[in-house]
Structure 1
């Protein structure tokens, strides 16, 4: 007589699926390891290299972003589509590359700008910059207390809205000694609103018949991240791009005094202030383009490469904005971010339309 087989620990702890009723066929379990998703994740070999179809789709989207048919909004949309469906198979690599690629792209844009025009744009934007930064920080403090959010999260979202989005949050976070989850909430909030702004601002600008100068200034003040500012302005026109980039980078320099003020306000000792050195690279490129005639032929090449780099940057950002990231933020941080964004967007728009 055969002896009964003792279940292994795994078998004993894993419940079997319930049998299907008589006359019916059990429905197959649907998850990411079955059907279509299983084919996307199944390793394959070609030319001695392992790959998955998921990685092939990502690479095809990436290559498209290098072509003239891609634009910043399209690249962001492709990244978002990837993130919401099959996911980003190179999350670590794209996260590491995004910041550096954006910095090199901004420096490259400097080779297409004139220093005299940039100074004039900076003069026009300085008052808007000062008022909007401190107004946003103060409003964020009031609304954040009303919503019952933690001080660190409130300050990070407010700084991201007031200065330059993810770059400001990345710089202010270590000064606050913010926790990883606090950083994630702030970054998630800002990145979602950035995506909305990139698509929404150009149609609004055209509907209101804004000039290139007006639209560039509005983008620099009302859109969080430098990548989305440059993307939206580039879609509107070259002059708007020049104004927006100059004013936004001048605004980004406020990371330094705001970081020092944060350390004093939150009584943090022994912290290092992160200086956005790439801005000085942008200024150097602009000076070379303005005052060194021999470098003029280099300008169009560098600007074209910079625009491609920006397009790829936005594809990477979109690919990292999964539904999980969006849901993990929670409703209150979005409420804070949206209120701040609406106030600064509508307020600056009204002033620009009536004064510039």
Structure 2
């Protein structure tokens, strides 16, 4: 039986205590992410080896829980408002990513992973397309490190910019869903801004995530891969089911309780993500891939914001 050192035991105790703190309702999403990063920075992550699969599962459960805070008419309205912007932004980022990536002479698989992560839904899109294009493990790690780093910045930056520009709840929710890569950070930033922004951001982002399917099919054609399988985000179906249940079979106060628990689960997810952002991973990011990713992120952030501000 393996014996743990005092440092390892202390690290595990602090990790568990901070994780429990993040479940408290008044802890915001950015704070949860920051606590995880500080822990990784000073003490390391004692559970890092098996953490990624739990992060993915916890995020999905939390998203489904948020569905109990939505009505069908709200979801349809949010999806409708973001549909055109979704098509324009995804196609533009993918085309621009190909041109700029080629100009900077970045390896094709890496530039594609960063582009698809920026265009659709961050780490989920990278994970879905990786088995198709078969990149090197280092390229996958690099793309994920860049995306998670920019997500972390967005979680703090977007609400500040939103308040500075006096964006209303609908505008901010839509902007989050398009401009921030990962679903976890989208929901985290929107929940900090307000409940209406959270509803819109969650619905539009998950509708956007369904574009993984056609983009994966397109990826098969581009990279000429016939034996690859497409990873379909099935949890979105459960999110829709939760909305339908809340609309046609309302469960009263229990819906609010489930939503609060889901938000706490999301905060815990962000804490776990923050705890995986090691200095070693950040140091491994090269200047060219980072500049490329930042350029695409600024482009989609500014472009979508201008589009939203000029919408009727």
Q: Is residue 273 of structure 2 the alignment partner of residue 338 of structure 1?
A: no
For residue 306 of structure 1, the aligned residue among 259, 262, 273 is 262
Distance 2:205 2:20 in 1: 29
Higher relative contact order, structure no. (Cα contacts within 8 Å, ≥ 6 residues apart):
2
For residue 59 of structure 1, the aligned residue among 10, 13, 16 is 16
Counterpart secondary structure, 2:310: helix
Indicate the residue corresponding to 1:265 in structure 2.
222
Counterpart secondary structure, 1:52: helix
Indicate the residue corresponding to 1:255 in structure 2.
212
- Is the 8 Å Cα contact of residues 132 and 228 (structure 2) preserved in structure 1? yes
Distance 1:290 1:346 in 2: 35
Distance 1:216 1:304 in 2: 19
For residue 5 of structure 2, the aligned residue among 43, 62, 71 is 43
Superposed displacement of residue 51, structure 1:
5.9
Instruction: Describe the superposition over 1:184-207 as per-residue Cα deviations: whole angstroms up to 9, x where unpaired.
Output: 011011000000000000010011
C-alpha distance 268-116 of structure 1, shift in aligned 2 (>3 A): same
- Is the 8 Å Cα contact of residues 163 and 254 (structure 1) preserved in structure 2? yes
Distance 2:134 2:8 in 1: 39
Instruction: Describe the superposition over 1:195-233 as per-residue Cα deviations: whole angstroms up to 9, x where unpaired.
Output: 000000001001100000000000000000000000000
Q: Is residue 153 of structure 2 the alignment partner of residue 196 of structure 1?
A: yes
Aligned positions, number: 310
- Is the 8 Å Cα contact of residues 29 and 267 (structure 2) preserved in structure 1? yes
What is the TM-score of this pair, normalised by structure 1? 0.85
Counterpart secondary structure, 1:267: coil
5+ residue gaps in structure 2? none
Indicate the residue corresponding to 1:184 in structure 2.
141
Distance 1:322 1:149 in 2: 24
Indicate the residue corresponding to 1:322 in structure 2.
278
C-alpha distance 79-268 of structure 1, shift in aligned 2 (>3 A): same
Distance 2:269 2:54 in 1: 8
- Which has the higher Rg, Structure 1 or Structure 2? 1
- Is the 8 Å Cα contact of residues 8 and 46 (structure 2) preserved in structure 1? no
- Equivalences for 1:1-356 in 2 at 5 Å? 43-44=5-6, 52-293=9-250, 295-356=251-312
Distance 2:216 2:4 in 1: 47
Distance 1:129 1:109 in 2: 21
Once superposed, which parts of structure 1, at least 4 consecutive aligned residues long, lie more than 6 Å away?
none
Let me know the Cα RMSD of the aligned residues: 1.4
- Is the 8 Å Cα contact of residues 11 and 43 (structure 2) preserved in structure 1? yes
- Is the 8 Å Cα contact of residues 42 and 53 (structure 1) preserved in structure 2? no
Superposed displacement of residue 43, structure 1:
2.2
Distance 1:137 1:84 in 2: 34
Superposed displacement of residue 93, structure 1:
3.0
Instruction: Describe the superposition over 1:108-138 as per-residue Cα deviations: whole angstroms up to 9, x where unpaired.
Output: 0000001101101111100000000010001
Superposed displacement of residue 330, structure 1:
1.4
Indicate the residue corresponding to 1:21 in structure 2.
none
Counterpart secondary structure, 2:138: helix
Distance 1:194 1:83 in 2: 17
